[in-house]
Amino acid sequence: MTTSHNTTDGYRSGATDEAVRAELSRLRDSIDNIDAAVVHMLAERFKCTQQVGHLKANHQLPPADPAREARQIERLRELAENAKLDPAFAEKLLNFIIAEVIRHHETIAKSS
């Protein structure tokens, strides 16, 4: 069985390929914008958590707050479910961020 590259419905035509490329480009531009926003939001988040780290260090509070972290994870899982995002993925992402924040807080505490 052979497959034609020029079908009568235009599926493999240059016009369709061009339309697909244009749609891919449009979607990828949106993805790039979202990625930029995510990076900027994370930067803002880490600016705040750095301030928290200094506050904790100045008042001899521990770098980690397991009760708050558990509440945040539960909150984020609920937000993820409402946004139709896999809650397990959201939890993994937040756990990664929390680990980085704690590492920063430990570094700040050692330098104080």
**Encoded tokens for 11:** 């599926």
Q: Supply the pTM of this predicted model.
A: 0.79
What is the residue type of 70? A
Distance CA 25, CA 40 (A): 23
pLDDT tens, residue order, the chain (112 aa): 544 444 444 456 677 899 999 999 999 999 999 999 999 999 999 999 999 999 999 999 999 999 999 999 999 999 999 999 999 999 999 999 999 999 999 999 999 8
Any alpha helices (H) in the chain, and if so which ranges?
14-58, 66-82, 87-111
What is the maximum span of the chain, computed from C-alpha positions, in angstroms? Answer: 76
